Structure 1
Amino acid sequence: MLIILAFIILFHLAAAILLFVATIHNAWWVVSPAGRDVIYTDLWYSCNATCYPVENSHTAIAAYLQAVQATMILATILCCVSFFVFILQLFRIKQGERFIFTALIQLLASLCVMIAASIYTAQKHSFHVSSLQEGSYGSSYILAWISFPMTLVSGLMYLVLRKRK
C-alpha cells in the first residue's frame, strides 16, 4: 500500500510540475523566421532577444487569451490545493473512506487545463500578428495537453483510492 501511495503522490507532483512549466514557460507558439532569431510566444510575452507583451492581449479581440491565462492559472492552483487536501485527508479521514473531495478538486483542475488548451487551439491565429502566423505549437502547449490526461487520471485514482492501513 505504501508503494501505491508513493506512486500516487509522485504522479500528482509530476502533473503539478507540468502545469507550472506549461503556464510559465514561454513556448506556447514558436516561430522560426529565415535568417532571424527564433521567436517564442507564451500566454503573456513574445520573446526573441528581448521580451515584449503579446500584442493586443489586453483588448476584447483577445479576450480568449485572457480566458486561457485564467484557466491555466486556476488549473495550477487547483492541482496544488488538491495535493494539500490529499495530504490532509490522508491523516484525517477514517479507514475505508474515499478521497472524494481531493478527486473533485483534481478533476476540476483537469477540466480547466482542457478548456485552456482547447481555447488556445481554436483561436491560435487570432492574436498573433502577421509576422507570427507561420509558426507552430511549442513545448509548453504540448505540456499543457500532456498534463490534461495526467490530472484526469490522478483525479480518477483518488476516486478509486480508499484509505487502508
Structure 2
Amino acid sequence: MLILLAFIIVFHISSAALLFIATIDSAWWVGEDFSTDVWHRCLNGTNCTALDETFPDYRSIQAIQATMILSTILCCVAFFVFILQLFRLKQGERFVLTSIIQLLSCLCVMIAASIYTDRHEEFHVGPQYDFFQVSSGQYGYSYVLAWVAFSFTLLSGIMYLILRKRK
C-alpha cells in the first residue's frame, strides 16, 4: 500500500508540474520566428507583447487564462486535501473530496485547451502579424502538456475514487 501511495503522490505532483508549465510557458502556438501563449506573443524571440484588450477575441484568452489558473490551483488544493485526508479519515471515507477536486481540475484544463483549440486562429490576426506566417505555425509543447495534464488529472481523480475502498 505504501508503494501505491508513493506512486499516487508522484503522479499528482507531476500533474501539478505539467499544469504549471503549460500555464506559464510561451509555447502554445509556435512557428519559425514567433511563439505565443495565453499571456503574450513573441516575434523573433525577443519582441514580446502582452495580451490586452486590443487583441482580437480577448475574452476567449481571458477564459483560457482563468481556467488554466483555476485548474492549477485546484490540483494543488487536491494534493493538500489528499495529505490531510490520508491521516484524518478512516478507511472507506477517504479521498472522495480529493477526487472531486481533482476531477474539477481536469474539467478546467479541458475547457481551457478546448477553447484554445477552437479559437487559436482568431488569436493570430492583427497588424503586427503576417497571417500567412502565423497560420503556418503549429501547436507547441505547452499546448500538448495541457492535454497531457488533462489526462493525468483525470486518471488521478479516478485513482482516488478507486483508492478510497482500499485498506
Q: TM-score, normalised by structure 1?
A: 0.90
* Pairing 1:109–2:111 present: no
Contact 2:68 2:109 (C-alpha < 8 Å) held by counterparts = yes
Note closer, same or farther for the CA distance 1:149–1:42 as it changes in structure 2 (3 Å cut). Answer: same
| TM-score, normalised relative to structure 2 | 0.89
Partner of 2:147: 145
2:92 match: secondary structure: coil
Inter-partner Cα distance in structure 2 for 1:148 and 1:125:
22
Letter paired with 1:140: S
What's the secondary structure of 1:94's corresponding residue?
coil
Matched, 1:13 2:18: no
Which residue in the other structure is 1:35 paired with? none
CA distance change for structure 1 residues 92 and 81 in 2, over 3 Å: closer, same or farther? same
Alignment of structure 1 residues 19-34 onto 2, 5 Å: 19-32=19-32
Map 1:11-160 onto structure 2 (within 5 A): 11-32=11-32, 38-47=33-42, 48-54=45-51, 57=53, 61-129=57-125, 130-131=129-130, 132-160=134-162
Residue 39 of structure 1, CA deviation: 1.2
Deviation at 1:152, TM superposition (A): 0.2
| Whole-Å separation in 2 of the counterparts to 1:4 and 1:46 | 42
After the TM superposition, list the runs of 4 or more consecutive aligned residues in structure 1 that deviate by more than 4 angstroms.
Answer: 56-60
Q: Deviation digits for residues 107-145 of structure 1, max 9, x if unmatched?
A: 000000100000000001112124223211101000001
Deviation at 1:51, TM superposition (A): 1.8
Q: Go from structure 1 to structure 2 and tell me whether the alpha carbon gap of 1:88 and 1:72 turns closer, same or farther (over 3 Å shift).
A: same
Paired amino acid for 1:24: I
Identity, % of aligned pairs? 60
Q: RMSD value over aligned CA atoms?
A: 1.7
Maintained 8 Å contact 2:63/2:112 = yes
Amino acid in structure 2 at the alignment position of 1:152: L
Unaligned runs of 5+ in 2: none
Supply the distance in 2 between the matched residues of 1:110 and 1:123 (Cα, whole angstroms). Answer: 20
Most deviating of 8-17 and 126-135: 126-135
Corresponding residue SS for 1:127? helix
Structure 1, gaps ≥5 residues long = 33-37
Give aligned pairs, total: 159
